[in-house]
């Protein structure tokens, strides 16, 4: 028995744009460039950890053509580390996009 997997995407999501409040972050991004997809992209996977719980990882997945996500109930003034990848139809991940974002502080502090 042999399996034929499509090659993993060689590119990463493009042009990340974020907006944030004390407890919510909204992200949108551009699709992996056509010549770097190598097969059909089934969605994007975003993992996040915070400095207060570095071993706890939250995973958010988008499906199909969706290129945005909103995360809620985050902790004010907290640094979050994010990893975003495109995922192809066989579940293989592409090149990762790594970035950090600190949430806004509580007003008046």
Name the residue with tokens 């974002």: 101
Q: Which pLDDT score is estimated for 4?
A: 60
pTM confidence score: 0.85
Identify the domain containing residue 53 by its residue range. Answer: 14-102
Task: Give the whole-number percent of the chain exceeding pLDDT 90.
Answer: 64
Please tell me the distance from the alpha carbon of residue 44 to that of residue 26, in angstroms, as a whole number: 15
Q: How many domains does the chain have?
A: 1
In a domain, 88, yes or no: yes
Determine the distance from the C-alpha atom of residue 9 to the mean position of all C-alpha atoms in its chain, rounded to a whole number: 15
Whether residue 41 contacts residue 7, with contact meaning beta carbons closer than 8 Å, is answered with no
In a domain, 5, yes or no: no
In a domain, 54, yes or no: yes
For residue 70, what is the domain's CATH number?
2.60.40.10
Arithmetic mean of pLDDT, 78-92: 92
In a domain, 47, yes or no: yes
Arithmetic mean of pLDDT, 19-37: 94
Q: Which pLDDT score is estimated for 51?
A: 81
What b/e sequence results for 67-103 when a residue is b if at least 16 CB atoms lie within 10 Å of its CB, and e otherwise?
A: bebebeebeeebebebbbbbbbeeebebeebeeebeb
């Amino acid at each position: 028995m042999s399996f034929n997997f499509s090659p993993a995407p060689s590119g990463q999501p493009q042009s990340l744009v974020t907006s944030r409040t004390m407890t919510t972050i909204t992200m949108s991004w551009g699709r992996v460039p056509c010549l770097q997809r190598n097969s059909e992209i089934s969605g994007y996977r975003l993992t996040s950890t915070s400095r207060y719980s570095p071993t706890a990882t939250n995973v958010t997945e988008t499906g199909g053509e969706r290129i945005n996500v909103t995360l809620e109930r985050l902790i004010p003034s907290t640094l979050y580390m994010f990893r975003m990848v495109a995922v192809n139809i066989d579940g293989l991940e592409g090149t990762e996009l790594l970035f950090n974002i600190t949430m806004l502080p509580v007003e008046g502090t």
